[in-house]
Structure 1
């Protein structure tokens, strides 16, 4: 499959309980982006989801996973849009099916500011053994593990 390569790609999330779905999302960003900006929800913004690991710990997990790469930057996100609504150099955003509406909102904002809309790359969910998506929420509840194995 011949994928388009982008100069600067955005990808964001909470990345709590770093799991196979996160890996697929981020791997896609690195496959298509020369430079990758990874936004990680801040403690305040991410904490709206409940009891999650600290932003510092979640960022460290990402740095560890991509220790063999140098073409990325990790930043804390205090909102759903991050630098994508200010930086005209982004040309694509990688999202899950769940977060596609946010990417559409980002493009609407960019257009009103006179910036080019981003190409939206949608990554399908990674499914657990039960056919439902792997999610940090399900892992926190003890339903599944990070690779989607059913625990209860």
Structure 2
């Protein structure tokens, strides 16, 4: 199965890891995962700073290849994979032949829009697989914005700030 997933992945946190892991699980050992990684210009619309594309790409590769070398995940991550630049909300998902897209609760509307636009182009719709967002210790979603603000770390642990009153 060919699976697509996309994002900025900065910083790469436990929610992103769940999204990527689910993508590899769906694709299976004989499948393929295409990871759309936002370009620097597209990512610049974010409200917080973004690391350069090359750094974010290296972090993704390190996570995926690290998972491959972990014995329990060897079979799961035997899947072929590639990272492609994502210059807009859709990337190659409007024209490429693929089977499924993996999204979070936050990005589900984009996947629905992709299927609508694919239908208009006379292409078959793809299956949408939505993961649940990973919650931080405070019960709210782990997000890059919250990490950049210094509220939580990449695992959702609250960062204690010491205020002197």
TM-score normalised by length of structure 1: 0.93
Deviation at 1:35?
A: 0.3
Matched with 1:73 is 82
Counterpart in the other structure of 1:29: 23
1:129 alignment partner in structure 2: 137
Q: How many residues align?
A: 145
CA deviation profile, 1:55-96 (whole Å, cap 9, x unmatched): 111111011111124610101110010111011x21100000
Of structures 1 and 2, the larger Rg is shown by 2
Q: How does 1:86-105 map to 2 (within 5 A)?
A: 86-87=95-96, 89-105=97-113
Which secondary structure state, in structure 2, belongs to the residue aligned with residue 15 of structure 1? coil
After the TM superposition, list the runs of 4 or more consecutive aligned residues in structure 1 that deviate by more than 3 angstroms.
none
Worse overlay, 49-58 or 127-136: 49-58
Secondary structure of the residue aligned to 2:4 is strand
Q: Give, in angstroms, the shift of residue 113 of structure 1.
A: 0.6
Structure 2 length normalisation: TM-score? Answer: 0.86
User: d(CA) in 2 for partners of 1:140 and 1:47?
Assistant: 14
Write 1 or 2 for the structure with the bigger share of strand.
Answer: 1
Q: Which runs of 5+ in 2 are unaligned?
A: 69-76, 161-165
What is the root-mean-square deviation of aligned Cα atoms in Å? Answer: 0.9
